Chain A
């Protein structure tokens, strides 16, 4: 198992000098994933912040082969690359000993929404690749619009806080279970606030023979309206409030990796640092806040119970 010291010594596969906002965790997510194997990696990236800030021509931050195709097709694109690899290997165009891993990065817009069909089909076909969704809970590259990953009550530009409707009224889509329902070998939810857990999951995903999936919370400094030094701390609060349970689904079996148990914080602790939730802590919006709290509690309970089962549920 790689520890943080080992990790720090790994060569940069995503080079410094890219144009992400100060404090943006998306490149940290990418670096962590890319450092979790010594095998060669080819990356496909959906249109979005990570792609835009790393590939402004004539420069590229990617020190490994990289393709951005369009918004909704990171999974279909990497499935083509992976298939080409197998085909070229079969005909001897590349050495039999060469081992390449394939990673697709997408934000939640490119994964939960517009790219879901492409992802679903690539998982169903069983390509050997790891899909990494860095989830910042909305369309941040275009300035903070609602996605199906946006939580209840959040203020977004396409579902703003108004006089008769107070931000998003619908629950987040449960992407982990949708992905797991494809019977893939490995899916995990992780947070940048827990490095041993994150690196273990990344290593596991990248050594899986077949499709694997990682869902990582990526607090957006600009649109969540948080301080630039707070992304990791907020990731920790997401875990400690039960908003972002750390769990994995391996061969259909659930495992909760961290239970906040009696130390579980109220959701307000996660919300209070974020401008997008400012309104939610006002007394007049208590109903909405209670609904969010209730959904989070229920979801954590569900994952706990499924973990206790110890048998495959997918």
Chain B
């Protein structure tokens, strides 16, 4: 294991180099582009044996990767924002065909207005597309989660595609020290991919993507959910195996000073780092502040979330996306998780950071302060919004 200075995008590309997929499809979109640029350099320098398809759109990127994966290849692509929105149709086809495709997604706002900066409206719009979703706090997690993703996706009792998220620019373009596995160790952890059904490797001809009507479609969808349930069964054994190699832990949700906390904030991706800094500061002042970071958003770990949050008085949920006219995505899940708690904490939703707006430590301090004072409401609140 060695430490390398890598951006989040560079960390994703480094993981892809070590996975050495058989086929990758590449299409540029800010802020995902540096992943594919770095990977294309690996291809053209002969550092991977991957065949790279330089496609003309994200829709074709996912379509080609579906073709490659159904042929029996290990296949990947990466995207952001409207690129993910364009491929939405085939994102669903990938999970419906149970293809273990792994895709880094660098979170970016959706149009319109066009905006290249970070928020989570892209991947939240895909939360019901049948993909496993892993969110990454920093470049290190963007790297580590790729390995979890590969093993989860390809587990024969799961066989679902996985998106590995990181925050656009904040993580994707910031250089951090990243501990990287030795190539051999990484290769061993990933192992060989031997698909049970393949267009090319199966002895008998296989039909992928058949038509199912009211007589079979429902059961197929139910099987996808059973596969999601199997993530619970196998997640921790895979995470433990990775921990043995890296010394880092990979809980589905990461508790940070939650045990005795009176106020706990909930966040995904890079906001968790900023909140941790504030928690440290408040703890020094003797305030019982905590954070629950969500790594695994699909399937959603309701009972773990409940366990960590139920003892607090106030929960502040940070959403970097909207569900217009409804509870925002993370808030909605947290409320679901706490619904059956005996005396559930009060839950306050906060929308922040849309279109890349900064989240400052002082913003978080203000949130903690108002929640310590018990100022919880039924309405959404906004951080850093004018007017």
Cβ contact within 8 Å between A90 and B49: yes
Given contacts A81-B70, A100-B200, A118-B59, contact A88 B22 (CB under 8 A): yes
Verify A80–B53 contact, CB threshold 8 A. Answer: yes
CB-based nearest B residue for A53: B211
Decide if A58 touches B216 in the complex (CB within 8 Å).
yes
- State whether the Cβ of B383 lies closer than 8 Å to any Cβ in chain A: no
Quick check: B210 and A60 within 8 Å, CB to CB?
yes
- Residues 73-102 of A, flagged 1 when their CB comes within 8 A of B and 0 if not, give 100111111111111101101100000100
A72 on the B face (CB < 8 A): yes
B205 contact from A44, A65, A69, Cβ within 8 A: A65
In the complex, chain A residues whose CB is within 8 Å of the CB of B201: 88, 93-94
Determine whether the beta carbon of B72 is less than 8 Å from that of A118: no
Interface flags, B33-75, vs A, CB<8A=1, else 0? 0000000000000000111011111011001111111111101
Contact residues, A87-144 vs B (CB, 8 A): 87-88, 90-91, 93-94, 100, 117-118, 120-122, 124-125
The answer, yes or no, to whether A158 is at the interface (CB within 8 Å) is no
| Shortest distance from the beta carbon of B330 to any chain A beta carbon, whole Å | 30
Report yes or no: B25 in contact with A80, Cβ–Cβ below 8 A.
Answer: yes
- Residue contact A121 to B199, C-beta cutoff 8 Å: no
Which chain A residues border B202 with CB–CB below 8 Å?
A: 65
Return chain A residues, CB-CB under 8 Å to B53.
79-80, 83, 125
Assembled-state Cα–Cα distance A280/B151 (Å): 62
Contacting residues, chain B, for A62 (C-beta < 8 A): 205, 207
Contacts of A69 in B (CB 8 A): 63, 66-67, 90, 93, 208-209
Whether A88 and B64, one on each chain, are in contact in the complex, defined by CB atoms closer than 8 angstroms, is no
Task: Select A42's contact among B59, B64, B89, B200, beta carbons within 8 Å.
Answer: B200
Knowing A56-B213, A125-B53, the reply to whether A44 touches B59 (Cβ < 8 A) is: no
Which of B69, B71, B93, B211 contacts A70 (CB under 8 A)? B93
**A51 proximity list for chain B (CB < 8 A):** 211
Name the interface residues of B201-230: CB closer than 8 Å to any CB of A: 201-202, 205-213, 216
Q: Is the CB of A57 within 8 A of B210?
A: yes
Proximity string of chain B (180-199) to chain A, C-beta cutoff 8 Å, 1 when within and 0 when not: 00000000000000000001
A30 at interface by CB-CB < 8 Å: no
Q: Are A81 and B200 in contact (CB under 8 A)?
A: yes
Given A77-B67, A80-B66, A117 and B25 touching (CB < 8 A)? no
Q: Are B56 and A121 in contact (CB under 8 A)?
A: yes
Q: Within the assembled complex, what's the spacing in Å between the Cα atoms of A82 and B57? A: 18
Q: Which residue of B lies closest to A89 (CB)?
A: B200
In the complex, are the beta carbons of B199 and A67 less than 8 A apart?
yes
Please indicate the chain B residues that have their CB under 8 angstroms from the CB of A67 in the complex: 66-67, 70, 199, 207-209
A52 CA / B207 CA spacing, docked (Å): 12
Assembled-state Cα–Cα distance A117/B71 (Å):
23
Contacting residue for B67 out of A63, A84, A100, CB 8 A = A84
Check A79–B206 contact: CB distance below 8 A: no
For the complex, is A64 an interface residue (Cβ under 8 Å from B)? yes
B292 in the interface (beta carbon within 8 A): no
B23 within 8 A of A: yes
| A79–B25 CA distance with the chains assembled, in angstroms | 10
- The answer to whether the Cβ of A146 comes within 8 Å of any Cβ in the partner chain is no
Q: Which residue of the partner chain A has the closest CB to B194?
A: A93
Given the known inter-chain contacts A42-B71, A42-B199, please indicate yes or no for A84 contacting B59, CB distance below 8 A: no
Cα(A22)–Cα(B41), bound, Å: 54
User: In the complex, what's the smallest C-beta–C-beta distance from A122 to chain B, in angstroms?
Assistant: 8
Report the separation of the CA atoms of residues A94 and B66 in the bound assembly, to the nearest whole angstrom. Answer: 19
- Which residue of the partner chain B has the closest CB to A67? B208
Nearest B residue to A66 by beta-carbon distance? B207
Contact of A57 among B65, B199, B216 (CB under 8 A): B216
Residues of B within 8 A of A100 (CB): 200
Most buried by A among B72, B199, B208: B199
Say whether B56 contacts A83, CB under 8 Å.
no
Interchain CA distance A50-B201 in the complex, whole Å: 25
The answer to whether B206 touches A70 (Cβ under 8 A) is no
* Complex interface residues of chain A between 23 and 66 (CB less than 8 A to chain B): 42, 44, 51-52, 55-58, 60, 62-66
Residues in B neighbouring A56, C-beta threshold 8 A: 210-211, 213
The 0/1 profile, CB within 8 Å of B marked 1, for residues 215-254 of chain A is 0000000000000000000000000000000000000000
Chain B residues whose C-beta falls within 8 Å of the C-beta of A120 in the assembled complex: 56
A122 / chain B contacts, CB cutoff of 8 Å: 60
Give Cα A70–Cα B208 distance, bound, in whole angstroms.
11
* Given the contacts A81-B200, A87-B49, A88-B22, A57 and B59 also touching, CB distance less than 8 Å: no
How far, in Å, is B219 (CB) from chain A's closest CB?
10
Residues of A within 8 A of B56 (CB): 117-118, 120-121, 124
In whole angstroms, how far apart are the Cα atoms of A66 and B209 in the complex? 8
> In this assembly, does A68 line the interface, its C-beta being within 8 Å of a C-beta of chain B?
yes
For the complex, what is the distance from the CA of A69 to the CA of B71, rounded to whole Å? 13
Contact B89 A65 (CB under 8 A): no
**Contact, CB under 8 Å: B200 / A70:** no
Q: In the assembled complex, how far is the CB of residue B94 from the closest CB belonging to chain A, in whole angstroms?
A: 9
CB distance from B75 to the nearest CB of A (A): 7
A91 touches B90 (CB 8 A): no
Instruction: For B200, give its contact among A44, A55, A85 (CB under 8 Å).
Output: A85
Contact B210 A78 (CB under 8 A): no
Q: A88 contacts B93, CB within 8 Å?
A: no
- Assuming the contacts A58-B216, A65-B202, asked whether A80 and B49 have C-beta atoms less than 8 A apart, the reply is no
Additional A-B contact list (17), CB under 8 Å, known A60-B207, A83-B51? A57-B211, A57-B216, A67-B207, A69-B67, A76-B64, A80-B71, A81-B68, A83-B73, A84-B67, A85-B200, A86-B51, A87-B50, A88-B71, A88-B72, A88-B200, A93-B72, A125-B53
Offer 11 A-B interface pairs, CB within 8 angstroms, sorted by A: A66-B205, A67-B66, A67-B67, A69-B66, A80-B71, A82-B67, A84-B22, A84-B72, A121-B56, A121-B57, A121-B60
**Across the A-B interface, the 9 shortest Cβ-Cβ residue pairs:** A80-B67, A80-B64, A84-B71, A73-B63, A84-B73, A121-B56, A68-B209, A76-B63, A76-B60
> Footprint of A on B, CB under 8 Å?
22-23, 25, 49-51, 53-57, 59-60, 63-73, 75, 89-90, 93, 199-202, 205-213, 216
